[in-house]
Structure 1
Amino acid sequence: MSVDTVLDIVAAGCLIAGALLCLAAGVALVRFPDLLSRMHASAKPQVLGLLLVLVGCGLRLRTGVDITTLVLVGLFQLATAPVAAHMVGRAAYPDEQIRTDLLLTDELAAHIDRITQDRQRGAAPT
């Protein structure tokens, strides 16, 4: 078996695994009950699925210019997906769109209570 054949088999495995992870993320977005679990499902397996697809494409293409583009796509995805998920969670928390009964630790409660008290007194939040 030649090296090209082995690389093609590994690339096919990465592409299939990445596609299945992305499919699982899409199904979880529809099936999960609350915002935090949906946010987790959209960030974690989707990013790993995309990275596996990019690795599979890189193994299949084997050219320098294409690999550089795939690496940049992967880096930008790794940089933006966690930040976007964090900002969605922070924006949804004050609007009570999160089921706090499912949280083990609620680190934002004291901060939100302080902001609410400051607003009621007419002071600018810190």
Structure 2
Amino acid sequence: MTYTLATTVDLPWAEALDRTRDALSAQGFGILTEINVRSTFETKLGTEAADAVGDYVILGACNPALASRALAAEPEIGALLPCNVVVRRNKDAEITTVEAIDPQTMVQLSASPSVKEVADDAGTRLRKALADLGETAK
């Protein structure tokens, strides 16, 4: 099983990042955290490491209603939240890749039917966000 859902978009980097935020928002996800990996590598490891990773941002996306249901079913599931969404583009690339954690990875770690329901719902929403993102790039 792959552990991500992915799409590619033929958009400038900043626009791809903005549209990813918008597509997630349209599916009820807010952004709790944003980690600029390139910037962190630049600061901590230098320009060469930053250039090697390229433009790379990790968005910590959360749908509060889904998170509430998951935590009520199994409090330990919080270790797997929020849903990470990566927006990345190599230095010489012409397209941007957007990848989200597949919520079905939670199901593999939990026997709770309630967690499976939440993962199914979250997966449907993330797939829709990625599909909409791909459509807006055309």
TM bracket, shorter-chain basis: 0.3 to 0.5
Higher strand share: 2
Is the radius of gyration larger for structure 1 or structure 2? 1
Bigger helix fraction: 1
